[in-house]
Amino acid sequence: MLHRKTHPVDVDGCFGCKILGINLNAGEASTRTSMSTKKWDAELQAYRDARAQGIQPSSTRMRDIQTAVEVSNRAGKAFKADDSTGGLL
């Protein structure tokens, strides 16, 4: 904060003034390790829809949900990931 004594108002070209003006945001980041809220909600809704049809995907990941739905559609029976009969009832 000593810099504000030297420059009470930001001076163009001053690195110290520039650094003091940076604001860090810890909000939602777009990285591979985090998922957007929209995508998260879509996956959970797809899981709910599959469960409403009697399908039990192996996880809540979209890939697993889509696989379970496809297998169920081909077989004409609800897919159950934790079933000992190979997944089909």
Task: Give the DSSP per-residue string, 26-64.
Answer: -S---STTS--HHHHHHHHHHHHHHHHTT-B-SSSSHHH
Tell me if the pTM is above 0.75: no
Q: State pLDDT tens for residues 3-39.
A: 778 888 888 888 888 888 787 766 655 555 667 788 8
- The pLDDT of residue 70: 94
Nearest-10 Cα torsion for 12, 17, 21, 26: 130
Q: Measured at the alpha carbon of residue 73, what is the angle toward residues 39 and 87, in degrees to the nearest 5?
A: 85
Q: DSSP state, 10? A: -
- The pLDDT of residue 89: 47
User: Model confidence at 87, in pLDDT bands (50, 70, 90)?
Assistant: low
Contact 60, 36 (CB under 8 A): no
- The pLDDT of residue 83: 63
Q: State pLDDT tens for residues 32-46.
A: 566 778 888 999 999
